[in-house]
Structure 1
């Protein structure tokens, strides 16, 4: 996993979560990622639990595997150093408001002059154009505009998901676009300018519900098969306050579940039109009659798409998670734990590699390393 993009040089100008998460994925795949921050640092350094060194654990987690250097891009010296870095880079990832790079003196013409085949990825809330291009926002706002909230939650009100969906999904979208642009560059030598929007990342998932809506069948919260309206695809509360999930969409899985819990009469009711309120109430009553551990003992080995909702501690201890080697728990400075979760995939039979700790460097150090990589 760690050498698929070996030799690729990435400048990450982004802050907070979406851009840094995208940069980290590129680093996980083997790229050399340099995170350029203003003299005061990325404001995410102060968001979340603080370690004794005054830096947020959250910031460390999402930027591990990168090299950080601080430059004042409003100063002439900072601009000169950044120009040197840009001339050596393959990818520039940034999450400024549209127009900011132009104001700093690194618009499209300057970037083209410094590195003609540069892949520039601008990650923003609403995109580089349109009436909302320069409006501020966060995950919940992009989900709202992109259609990702209205049909999620309880019948009484929409509910936002956690961790933030648009932030993480747009990081994946940015990486996908960057890799596609790099693939084209290997054949044509051409760079690319990528405009990735958090809102449009969410909107891209809405073709099915929007088509349904325009046909007079708009999804209703807890009213459709996949959002709580079907007894066979729903989250249930147990007697001890724990929760379990049932995803028995296929008839064979539903039949297996019904047989396992001694309710064969429910099998023929799977086809009832949603919302299946009567059947949902009966299944809810059943699950509420026993603690979560009872249902795990009964159903974990039944082929019915059942899974208990686990606490973070239970996830970390789960045999499947441990067997895949994606998670590593270590002690940070002062003894506070850090849960590093690596890239979600194996390559050539190997689990994701451990990330190197966040480290800071000077521009000259980065350039020396980059040119050595190029000359190998």
Structure 2
């Protein structure tokens, strides 16, 4: 079966998480992703030692479905290898400060004239220009500056970082969409272009549902913990043995909730007649609901509320997520076979196509594991490859 991106070659110079995860997901759909690393490897390989020194679980999580080549781009011979790769490439992905890319000669301006059909994807911390453009970008900083951290946590407490690397991984999905849009235009018009995404813009984009109200009313948003400022009940509740969320987004669900918990008196109470009333009187309603939900275990409440068409869910810990029946049904647990470490369990591709589905393949490769294979495809013979390796241009 052909895949959506069969025939598309991506030369991937990105490091750490955002770029590698984007190209990995594109590789699942058939793109030939060639991960180009310096001789010392992507720094993400050394974040932890889960699989041994230089073999971090973090790096393994974002580098499947690609081949790895080690090239020292600071050498003229190594840069020449990259240029030969770009002759057959459709996409080049880069994640570094704009000045660093320009210094290496891998910025868009340096490459566009020679490779006019190339889609050039730049992933940065803050953008291509501006006061912070040359500052290092990373997930924690993006969450803080972009407002996500400032909207998270309990009222009056320390701001809370979102556990998953939401700054990095949201940027991964933005990069995927940007690349596919540019490929569509190139296939139509014959010319590539630069596409740019950055961690900061991604985090700011998540504030869409909060920013309109703020700019209209001037009322600042403050963290609400597991609650919502403008909907009640729409929050986390403690149960007899854990936690769950209940989300009465529309009036129908509030009516269903009152019936499920056998509290029609709440439904008849004028203080809670509409969502606006419930928001205004949350200090009376929420403690009453907290008392009720604390009486039974989570599983019992979820069963009862789902039976009565009340939106709810247990608050799953990481170890519970992959046992969730719906997560299992969706096939989101992916097992990769590594020749040394055996099974590596990771997260499957979340994009579902009915006719040409994703087909993740291969384990995350070692630095330069496919150098000989890729260089041979580029026209280098065994002698030339040995010469490049002896000169330190490739690994």
Normalising by structure 2, report the TM-score. Answer: 0.85
Q: Does 1:218 align with 2:226?
A: no
Give the CA deviation at 1:354.
3.5
C-alpha contact (below 8 Å) 1:11/1:36 kept by paired residues: yes
Measured in 1, the distance between the counterparts of 2:359 and 2:308 equals 34
Mapping for residues 1-376 of structure 1, pairs under 5 Å = 3-52=3-52, 54-157=54-157, 158-214=159-215, 215-222=217-224, 227=228, 230-240=231-241, 242-267=242-267, 269=272, 270-271=274-275, 272-274=277-279, 276-329=282-335, 338-348=344-354, 352-359=358-365, 360-363=368-371, 365-366=373-374, 368-369=376-377
Distance in 2 (CA, whole Å) between partners of 1:304 and 1:161 is 27
Residues 33-92 of structure 1: per-residue CA shift (max 9 Å, x gap):
111111110111122352147511221121011111111111122111111112221111
Report the equivalent of 2:386: none
Q: What is the rounded CA distance, in whole Å, between the counterparts of 1:68 and 1:330 in structure 2?
A: 17
1:100 Cα deviation (Å)? 1.3
3-state DSSP class of the match of 2:149?
Answer: coil
Q: 1:228 to 1:210 in 2, by over 3 A?
A: closer
Contact kept? 1:119, 1:182, Cα under 8 Å: yes
Q: CA contact under 8 A between 1:95 and 1:122: conserved in structure 2?
A: yes
Distance 1:12 1:367 in 2: 15
Given that residues 246 and 306 in structure 1 are in contact (C-alpha distance below 8 angstroms), is that contact kept between their aligned partners in structure 2? yes
Measure, in 2, the Cα distance between the counterparts of 1:160 and 1:72: 36
Distance 1:53 1:103 in 2: 31
Does the 8 Å contact 1:326/1:352 carry over to 2?
no
Give the deviation of 1:252 after TM superposition: 1.3
Asked if the contact 2:123/2:197 (under 8 Å) is kept, the reply is yes
Structure 1 alignment gaps of length 5 or more? 372-376
SS at match of 2:11: strand
Question: 1:374 corresponds to which residue?
Answer: none
Does the residue aligned with 1:21 lie in a helix, a strand or coil?
helix
SS at match of 2:62: helix
CA contact (8 A) 1:51 1:336 kept: no
Residues 83 and 114 in structure 1, CA contact (< 8 A), matched pair in contact too: no
Q: Report if aligned partners of 2:10, 2:89 keep a CA contact under 8 Å in 1.
A: yes
**1:99 alignment partner, SS class:** helix
Q: Distance in 2 between matches of 1:2 and 1:367?
A: 25
Answer whether contact 2:227 2:236 (CA < 8 A) is retained. Answer: no
- Provide the C-alpha distance between the structure 1 equivalents of 2:247 and 2:28, rounded to a whole number of angstroms: 32
Q: CA deviation at 1:29?
A: 1.9
> Per-residue CA shift, 1:273-314, capped at 9, x if unaligned?
536122111111212222223323322433111111123332
1:117 aligned counterpart, secondary structure: coil
Does the 8 A contact of 2:21 with 2:63 survive in 1? yes
Does the 8 Å contact 2:68/2:371 carry over to 1? no
Mapped partners of 2:221, 2:2: distance in 1: 42
Moved more, 48-57 or 318-327: 48-57
Does structure 1 conserve the Cα–Cα contact (< 8 Å) formed by 2:30 and 2:359?
no
Normalised by the size of structure 1, how large is the TM-score? 0.89
> Aligned Cα RMSD in Å?
2.6
